[in-house]
Amino acid sequence: MPLDAALNSLGIAKAPADTRVVVAMSGGVDSSVVAAQLAEEGYDVVGVTLQLYDHGAALAKQGACCAGRDIHDARRVAETMGFPHYVLDYENTFREAVIDEFADAYLGGATPVPCIRCNERVKFRDLLETAKDLDADCMATGHYIQRHAGPNGAELHRAADPVRDQSYFLFSTTQEQLDYLRFPLGHLPDKAATRALAQRYGLSVADKPDSQDICFVPDGDYAAVIEKLRPGSAEPGAIVDMAGSELGRHDGVIRYTIGQRKGLGLGGLAEPLYVVRLDPETRQVVVGPKSALATRLVPLREINWLGDASFESRAEWHVGVKVRSTKPPVEAILRPLGPDRAEVELFSPEQGVSPGQACVFYDLDGPRIFGGGWIWRGY
Q: Which of the residues 65, 66, 138, 215 is marked catalytic?
A: 215
The H or E element spanning position 123 is none
Active site residue 215: yes
Distance of CA 118 to the CA centre of its chain: 7
Which one, of 289, 268, 286, 270, lies nearest residue 278 by Cα?
Answer: 286
Selected catalytic residue, list 66, 118, 138, 359: 118
Whether 118 sits among the annotated catalytic residues: the reply is: yes
C-alpha span between 8 and 322 (Å, rounded)? 34
Candidates 81, 45, 88, 93; CA nearest to 66 is 88
**Cα torsion for 258, 260, 264, 266, to the nearest 10°?**
100
- One-letter amino acid at 250 equals H
Q: What is the C-alpha to C-alpha distance for residues 13 and 7, in angstroms, rounded to an integer? A: 4
SS3 content of the chain, % helix, strand, coil (to 5): 30, 25, 45
Cβ count within 10 A of residue 119: 24
Residues with active-site annotation? 118, 215
